[in-house]
Amino acid sequence: MGLKGTAYAIRTIEKVNKTERISKNRQRTISLDSVSSQLKAMELRDAALAKLLYIVNVVITQTAEDIKSLLFELGFYIGCIRLYQKLTSIGLPICYPVPSIEERDILVFSGLEDITLAISHNMIPVDNTLCLNKMKLTVVTGANQGGKSTFLRSVGCAQIMAQCGMFVTAKDFLFAVRPRIFTHFCKPEDASMDSGKLDEELTRLNRIIDKLEPNTLLLMNESFSSTAEQEGAAIAHEIIGGLYEIGVKVIFVTHLYEFAHSIESAEKSDVCLLRAGRKNDGTRTFIIQPGVSLPTSYGMDLFREVIVQ
């Protein structure tokens, strides 16, 4: 270990004069006065060198692999330093998250902000403060363009950064370590038309479900919105109901009012309903707070803003 020699043993220590040393060296010397003896000596030399080269090659190969791993890990830490410098220059609050050892399902944060929005727009986004302890299912509804997807992304990024041992963009962040983290976000329409959008969503979700286990975190954004609301609500009931039963923690952003209303009517203690804030004049507050689902997503606000004006 550590390239240190071991098991050294001194057999004899002899003090001899120069004449005796020369005499002993002559007795231990093999004369290479014939071709056969020379060939034999060369074979011995080559065998010794081959063994030595093999050892050196193993050492060099292992050292190169160790250095490569070290460079990768150092790259991660250098990236963390540069990210920290970028976030502090913007003015975002940064804290070191606290993992919960005793509680397996805990998620509490204050002042949580979306890191991607902050970097891409070089601004301080609206923050959110919530307690989602022991909430197996969290359903987020509310007005269009109200910050629901941004909130979901902020939770996912913070959870991943926390489990990597990094800082997070929040004032406080208390979390439980998840065995796995999955996301199911809508994708653009398939340009090749190999399959419909709903079929593509269900295929991706099927691959996720095959890898799920209890206490896994699943973040779903506008899933099943590519079909009629009644059908989408029925699919959501079947799938999310099954995930709820096996103990997967799901945060679901949706406009499926029928599904959200049925979840609200069940009145389960481990189900949380959140809603994106909106003022009476249609202004979005981008704050996610507890609230029941509404039968409208206020799409007319966007119509008046984009089309009428």
Please say if the pLDDT value at position 196 is more than 80: no
Q: Model confidence over 26-72: pLDDT tens digits? A: 555 556 666 777 777 778 788 888 888 999 999 999 999 999 999 99
The residue ranking higher by pLDDT, 292 or 175, is 175
Average pLDDT (109-124) is 94
Q: Model confidence over 235-250: pLDDT tens digits? A: 999 999 999 999 999 9
pLDDT given for residue 125 in this prediction: 93
pTM of the model: 0.76
Q: Model confidence over 258-273: pLDDT tens digits? A: 999 899 888 888 999 9
Please say if the pLDDT value at position 185 is more than 80: yes
The residue ranking higher by pLDDT, 10 or 161, is 161
pLDDT given for residue 128 in this prediction: 96
Please say if the pLDDT value at position 302 is more than 70: no
Under the banding of pLDDT at 50, 70 and 90, the label for residue 279 is confident
Average pLDDT (150-157) is 96
The crossing angle, in degrees rounded to 10, of helices 257-266 and 229-246 is 40
95-187+199-308 fold: Rossmann fold (3.40.50)
Q: What whole-number distance in Å separates Cα of residue 112 and Cα of residue 154?
A: 7
Q: What whole-number distance in Å separates Cα of residue 216 and Cα of residue 178?
A: 6
